[in-house]
Structure 1
Amino acid sequence: MSQSATRPVSATVSALSLPASCDVLVIGAGPSGSACAATLAAAGWSVCLVDQHDFPREKVCGDGLIPDAHAALRRLGVLDEVMAHAQHVSHVRCVAPRGGQVDVPGTLAVLPRRVLDHLLVQHAQRQGAQLVTPVKFDAVIEENGRVVGARLRQGEARPEVRARWVVLATGAGVQPLVATGLCTRRTPSGIALRGYVHNPSLAGRQTTMDVVWDRALRPGYGWIFPCGEDTYNIGVGAFFRQGQAADANLRQMFDDFTRVYAPARALMDGGTLQGDLKGAPLRCTLEGAASGRPGLLATGETLGSTYDFTGEGIGKALETGLMAADALLSGARDGLDEAAVRQRYDQHLATLRPKFALYEKANSVNRHPWLADLVIWRAQRSASLRRRMSGVLDETSNPGHLLSVRGMLRLLAR
């Protein structure tokens, strides 16, 4: 893979053995798990953070950092460090089926997850969290109906770690949800496929984060995001109605993307694919899993923290990880019992649910891409609409309003 997709960061130091017990066992060291672990460790809690992979490691993602991710990284205290490695981008280019396009400004960056997640896990270690990799999760340990730890696999060993709390941050995989009894929906909300392409001939030409809708890409879209150093993240994603099987042919969608969008075709024809195209499921709209049970909290994409419509998940993964840590810390400070801690966490999550509902509504663009033609056609002629679209990125505008009946009538009337 090219250097831009593997920007060097110092090696992660992993403990050789697991502790017998700790205050909090965090299973999964992606953005949500690392954010939670770092916050708790910084407050003086003993935290064991485990992941099934050594770092740095790959993660299928679009790699885009939009304003909610910037805000969460700032709160975590790593924004400047992350931005020093990231490719800064000034606009998202929205491209409609008929070729209309509009550039929407925003506070944006792109950083491959191989680098981002490594930086975040190193931050958690600096705060005092003990990282142990590679460790796989098998099952929770229960006593009197309460989770009190987990059974893990570390090579040939089958260690157990006892903890006051377990935080499950294992991503979109369904097996850990089933094993913990939190799963309420096995099917994913969507699926995505991405690759990295090195193409020096596009230097200075492909500078925006392109999001492309087309009939051939229903019920999803394609993207090209610049990673820096002449390397680009290119991919497609498909989103599904609740309960609908995720049966899209992503490889066909990817081929269709390069057929219908000339910059995607130019990128692939003149570039070198770095590694293989890789796919992964998506869990969206804070649905498909319970938020926890006695002794256990779920966070990040395990909980469904990825947005419908855009597929953006890094920011909300970080936010939910911080919320889990906040609930545990404030519960200890206020002397709350376990049920009250979980209730406080649910109250934190409830502040996010209206946003997810709006993105779920806006997901109609992916099913009916002609809506993108209408919105982009009007945005080309309306500075106020472009500001509203920019507001969707920084969460000051409602994406659902753009696509409501009233919103459609307003667009047609202008």
Structure 2
Amino acid sequence: MTLPLLNLSFSELPERCDVLVVGAGPAGSAAATLLARSGWDVVLVDRRSFPREKVCGDGLIPDAHAALRELGVLDEVMARAQGLQHVGCIGPRGTRVDVPATLAVLARRELDDILCRNAVRQGARMHAPVHFEAPLHDASGRVVGARLSNGGETRELQARWVVLATGAGTQPLVAADMCERQTPSGVALRGYVKNDAMQERITAMEIVWHRELRPGYGWIFPCGDGVFNIGVGVFDMHTTDAQGRNAMANVNLRQLFDAFCGFYAPAKELMAGGVLQGQLKGAPLRCTLRGARFARPGLLVAGEAAGSTYAFTGEGIGKAMETGMLAARGLLQAAAKGLDDAAVCQSYAAQLTALQPRFRFYERANQVNAHPWVVDLLLWRARKSERLLRRMSGVLNETAHPGQLFTARGIYKLFTE
């Protein structure tokens, strides 16, 4: 099969298009796919040429599977992914519960490449490396395209709409006057380690809570072929300083990573007997659909730029794709019904706002990362209760939310059910 051509040059950028999608990750590629599939002229740009690395846990939970199916690439992804059946939840005292779900792990370098190529197959034109400098405006202030650059060269591209799907970096949001908070919601550090001897030892997505990882947790995800994604993450990073300004809590991720590899035997063995593939890399996270405006005339914000990652779990791939598809459907519906800019912006913002209550439950569950004894209690009860285990599985499948487990009422039920 001939792969579609990616990374068209900066000099090949057209002067205009129907929609300019900035950022070719899951959100941007999802939006570009639906729009191009419907016959729209779509230009997709990214600041890095594909394939490229992306710091992530690489886990695909059921919401990601559903989005990949809708985009038509689930089979292609699963042919290259490591399919799994359980998340192994490990508490501070070593108590373990394997929670069943439909799961997979695929490095974002491969996943994003598949998604981007799918958008190109549908008719989108992908140009990289291309940097988003700022939006273009007409006399009324409506966004009508963008100023883009590569090296010392700058070009202007006219577009009816711009979809900003630029991830956790805030520079594009600031340039587009869409940023409400520059500090991230969380930070994570991950690496890839090859250790063939651990293939039979670690066969689930393992998540570990421990007092030495407060206020975060560690993970080990099997990627297949003896390679594992290992990392640590911390949420609730956003604070306010004495002057009332946004600030970021001081956390040393490398110290947390070393602690994880010190107290958790599988992590210690994985690192001691394995070979690190590249370097440990860190990245910020934007969660809970907060920190950015969602829409203005001519421009929509999608994916992690809009805060589409769940706090507590750090899962964001599926929700990024969902927001990208919401943006695309909004534009398609507007064209079909003749809606004006105000209606498009209002409808899109309302759809994202409607998702926020679920995101807030995950945000509240962050208290567990600071108080890992709660995990011990939950796992102790889950080993005795099929109903509780189903509820934990429901959190992964989005038929339940963590607020049903980690609120005061939820903890009370651990003793009464």
Both structures adopt the same fold (TM-score exceeding 0.5): yes
2:207 to 208, 211, 216: 211
**Contact 2:311–2:366 at 8 Å: present in 1 too?**
yes
| 1:14 is the counterpart of 2:14 | no
Q: Give SS of 1:61's match.
A: coil
Partner of 1:372: 375
In 2, distance between residues paired with 1:56 and 1:12?
A: 12
1:279 aligns with 2:282: yes
SS at match of 2:13: coil
Q: C-alpha displacement at 1:208, in angstroms?
A: 0.5
- 1:229-275 residue CA offsets vs partner (Å, 9 max, x unmatched): 00000000000164351321000000011112111001000000000
- 2:221 paired with 1:221: no
Aligned counterpart for 2:103 among listed residues 82, 105, 108: 108
2:183 alignment counterpart:
187
The code of the aligned residue for 1:412 comes to F
Gap runs ≥5 in structure 2: 241-247
Whole-angstrom CA distance in 2 between matches of 1:353 and 1:84: 33
Question: SS of 2:167's equivalent?
Answer: coil
Letter in 2 for 1:134: P
1:150 aligns with 2:146: yes
Counterpart of 1:230? Answer: 226
55-64 or 360-369, larger mean C-alpha shift: 360-369
CA spacing shift, 1:331–1:401, aligned 2, 3 Å: same
Question: What is the identity, as a one-letter code, of the residue corresponding to 1:402?
Answer: L
The aligned residue for residue 48 of structure 1 is 43
- Structure 1 gap segments, 5+ residues each: 1-8
Query: What is the deviation of 1:412?
Result: 2.3
Q: For residue 253 of structure 1, give the secondary structure of its aligned residue in structure 2.
A: helix
CA contact (8 A) 1:191 1:246 kept: no
Per-residue CA deviations over 1:281-324 (Å, capped at 9, x if unaligned) read 00000000000211110000000000000000000000000000
Counterpart residue identity of residue 405, structure 2: L
Alignment match, 1:289: 292
Give the structure 1 partner of residue 357 of structure 2. Answer: 354
The structural deviation recorded for 1:361 is: 1.4
| 2:66 counterpart of 1:71 | yes
**Are 1:12 and 1:55, in contact at CA under 8 Å, matched by a contact in 2?**
no
Structure 2 residue identity aligned to 1:182: M
| 2:307 corresponds to 1:312 | no
CA contact under 8 A between 1:12 and 1:118: conserved in structure 2? no
After superposition, the Cα gap between the structure-2 partners of 1:258 and 1:11, relative to the gap in structure 1 and judged at 3 Å, is farther
| CA displacement 1:102-150 (0-9 Å, x = unmatched) | 0000000000000000000000000000000110111111122111111
Most deviating of 52-61 and 243-252: 243-252
TM-score, normalising length: structure 2: 0.95
Corresponding position of 1:175:
171
> For the residues of structure 1 that align with 2:164 and 2:46, how far apart are their CA atoms?
11
> Equivalent residue for 2:346?
343
Residue 119 of structure 2, aligned match among 102, 120, 124: 124
Q: How many residues align structurally?
A: 406
SS at match of 1:82: helix
